[in-house]
Amino acid sequence: MTDNPRMQVPDVTAQERINQIEASVAIQLDGKLAAVRDRIAGAFPSCEFSGFRGELTVTAPPDVLVDLLTFCKTDPDLSCELLSDVTGVHWPGGVHEHQGQETTGWPTYTIEQAGRIDVLYILRSVSRNHWFRVKVSLPDEHAAVPSAVPVYRSANVLEREVFDLMGVRFEGHPRLERLFMPEDWEGHPLRKDYPLGGVEVQYKGATVPPPSERQY
């Protein structure tokens, strides 16, 4: 709620929320994914939904992630037997320039944003032939989210990859160790604030310098 009376958001029922979602993104989804969206919206009113080019994204608070994944796997109308991928996108904080599109020109706005990491889970139903993504947004620093391993065993290696390359900690993971980089490696190479210097490589007795030091 907000102190501005013109900005007050009234309490709505689950059906009213489904109707609001239907009005905003129905044009983007086919009937099958629209039914998936409505099923999740009725069970998890704290989630948000978006559709783009026929793809459904469910944005969930981190504290309901495990319950949501469990519901998607066990609910007979969803039947998402497979977690096919877990990945992440880093959005650094700071001041960014945004170019707007208006009829009076193409003005540039300056926007200050807090850094975040979006963790994406791709769920697939083999029996019902649909797929969609679940997204959680975490703060840039000390990013942490409950592990999905208790729900999907395939999350074991996938979460280790995101931990190694993005720095996200998956709480409750049975073996949260680096997957690609050495254990004593500093930093996480797929973060956008990671320096692009590369490392020296030994090749047939000679040393190949990192890209930033090569002479072309």
| CATH number of the domain enclosing 132 | 3.30.460.80
Mean pLDDT of 20-26: 57
Please answer whether residues 121 and 138 qualify as being in contact, where contact means their C-beta atoms are separated by less than 8 angstroms.
no
In a domain, 110, yes or no: yes
One-letter amino acid for residue 110 of the chain: T
Domain assignment present for 41: no
C-beta of residue 83 within 8 angstroms of C-beta of residue 120:
no
Q: Which of 27-41, 42-56, 68-82, 97-111 has the highest mean pLDDT?
A: 68-82
Domain membership of residue 32 (yes or no) is no
Q: Which of 66, 67, 70, 49 is nearest to 58 (CA)?
A: 49
pLDDT score for 6: 43
Question: Residue 152 domain-assigned?
Answer: yes
Tell me if 179 is assigned to some domain: yes
Q: How many CB atoms lie within 10 A of CB 34?
A: 19
Q: What is the pLDDT at residue 23?
A: 58
Q: How many other CB atoms are there within 10 angstroms of residue 112's CB atom? A: 8
Neighbour count for residue 181 (Cβ, 10 Å): 13
Number of structural domains in the chain: 1
Angle at 69 between CA 65 and CA 72, to 5 degrees: 140
Phi, psi (rounded to 5 degrees) for 151: -95, -45
pLDDT higher than 80, residue 27: no
Task: State the Rg of the chain over Cα.
Answer: 21
Q: Is 47 helix (H, G, I), strand (E, B) or coil?
A: coil
More confident call, 8 vs 141: 141
Phi-psi region of 101 (alpha: psi -120 to 50; beta: other; left: phi over 0): beta
Has residue 53 been placed in a domain?
Answer: no
- 55-59 and 144-146 as β-strands: parallel, antiparallel, unpaired? unpaired
What is the per-residue pLDDT for 101? 63
Q: How confident is the model at residue 202 (pLDDT cuts 50, 70, 90)?
A: confident
Q: Say which range, 13-17, 33-37, 57-61, has the weakest mean pLDDT.
A: 13-17
Q: What is the pTM of this model?
A: 0.77
- Buried b / exposed e along 14-31 (16+ C-beta atoms within 10 A): eeebbeebeeebeebbee
Q: What would the mean pLDDT of 168-175 be, rounded to a whole number?
A: 97
d(CA 76, CA 84): 19
Residue 28 lies in a domain: no
Q: Is residue 215 part of a domain?
A: no
Full domain range(s) for residue 121: 60-186
Rounded to an integer, the average pLDDT of 112-117 is: 88
Pairing status of strand 55-59 against strand 201-203:
unpaired
The reported pLDDT for the residue numbered 93 is: 86
